[in-house]
Every structure is written in structure tokens, then in C-alpha cells.
Amino acid sequence: MLGGMGKMNNRETDENKKRPLSKKTGLVLAIGAGAMVVGAPFFAPALAGPLNSDSLVDPEWEGAVRKHVEKRFFNLIEATDSQKTQLDDLFKHQVEGNRQTREQVKKGAVEVAQLMADDAASDEQIKAKVQEIRKMREQLMDSRVDTALKVRAILTKEQRKIVSDKVIGFISGNQRRFLLRSMN
């Protein structure tokens, strides 16, 4: 009789292994995987070890990312050859023009991390460094707005609508909204 009970417990355990994950467990795993994917670009360079140079910004990687984003953007708006040339020049200029500021922001973030670990650093020093970084980020944002306005001037009314719908869908978390509005 006792042997039969042991087999029954094993059978229940085997059935539990075959059962799909609960919604809550699946959600937690999805969020964890998403956090790893989203956080990977930020943590991978930090974990990779020392750089071969003093720079925290890799121009080669930067160019590859810019080209990838441009290609997707050009496909989205069905850009003409003339638009592609104008926009590529604009984006390249923006990336190169902001490289030094982005480098300073990254160095500042490293300094904040070091200050946080330093027992001798005061709260005021940390706040001052964060404020300094915030000002640099505002400069970057102002530059991005200027670039966006220049892009807007290059695009047609229909292309601006496509971009607007895509941005609204991204912000709202409802990518289907883009598809629904574009069908009207």
C-alpha cells in the first residue's frame, strides 16, 4: 500500500512538470527577459572590461546603428532617393555633432557611480554631478528637437502622418493603433 502511494506522488509530480506555466509566472519571465534585452546594451559595455581607448562612445558601432535605424525609417516612410540623401546627411551631422556631449554624459554617469561607492563623497557632490549630467542631457534633447524639425521640413504631409502614427503607437503602447489609423 505504501508503495502505491509513492507511485501516486511521483505521477502527480510528473503531471505538474507537464502543465504550462501560470499566467503570473509567464508574465514574470517575460518581464525578466525583456529587462535583460533592454538592459543588455547598457550593461554589456560595462561588463566587457576596459576599453582599448579612453572613449566610451564607439563611432563604428554608432555608425552601424545609425544606418540600421535609417534603413527602417526610410522603409517606413517610403523615402525618395533625394530624401534619403538629405536625411542621411542630417542624421550623420547630428550624431557626429553630439558625440562629445554623449561621451561627457557617459563619463559623468561613471563618475556618479564611483561617487556612490566612495564613503568620502557627500550627497551634495553626488547631486551636483547629477545636475551637471542633466544639463548635458537637456542639450542633447534640444539638439534632437532641432533635428526633428529639420526632418519634418524634408518629409511630405503623408510621411509626417505615418511618423506621427508610429510615434503615437509607440508612446501609447498600442502599435495596432498605427495600423488602424493608416487604414482610414
The CATH number assigned to the domain holding 125 equals: 1.20.120
Instruction: Check whether residue 92 and residue 20 sit in a common domain.
Output: no
Instruction: Check whether residue 108 and residue 175 sit in a common domain.
Output: yes
In this structure, are residues 84 and 74 in contact, taking their beta carbons and an 8 Å threshold? yes
Instruction: Check whether residue 11 and residue 38 sit in a common domain.
Output: yes
Give residue-wise pLDDT tens across range 153-181: 999 999 999 999 988 988 888 876 555 55
Q: Is the pLDDT of residue 56 over 80?
A: no
Domain range spanning residue 38?
A: 1-49
Give residue-wise pLDDT tens across range 35-52: 554 454 444 444 444 444
**Bigger pLDDT: 9 vs 123:** 123
**Bigger pLDDT: 173 vs 147:** 147
Give residue-wise pLDDT tens across range 69-117: 889 988 889 999 999 999 999 999 999 999 999 999 999 999 999 999 9
C-alpha cell at 29: 519571465
Q: What is the pLDDT of residue 157?
A: 96
Q: How far is CA 150 from the centre of its chain?
A: 23
Q: Is the pLDDT of residue 1 over 70?
A: no
Distances (CA, A) of 154 to 147, 159, 163: 11, 10, 13
Mean pLDDT of 116-126: 95
Note the helical H segments in the chain. 2-18, 23-47, 59-77, 81-117, 123-154, 157-172, 175-183
Q: Is the pLDDT of residue 13 over 60?
A: no
Instruction: Check whether residue 113 and residue 29 sit in a common domain.
Output: no
**CA–CA separation, 7 and 13 (whole Å):** 10
Instruction: Check whether residue 90 and residue 34 sit in a common domain.
Output: no
Instruction: Check whether residue 63 and residue 82 sit in a common domain.
Output: yes
| Count of structural domains within the chain | 2
Distances (CA, A) of 96 to 3, 13, 73, 90, 119: 74, 59, 19, 10, 37
Instruction: Check whether residue 45 and residue 60 sit in a common domain.
Output: no
Instruction: Check whether residue 31 and residue 63 sit in a common domain.
Output: no
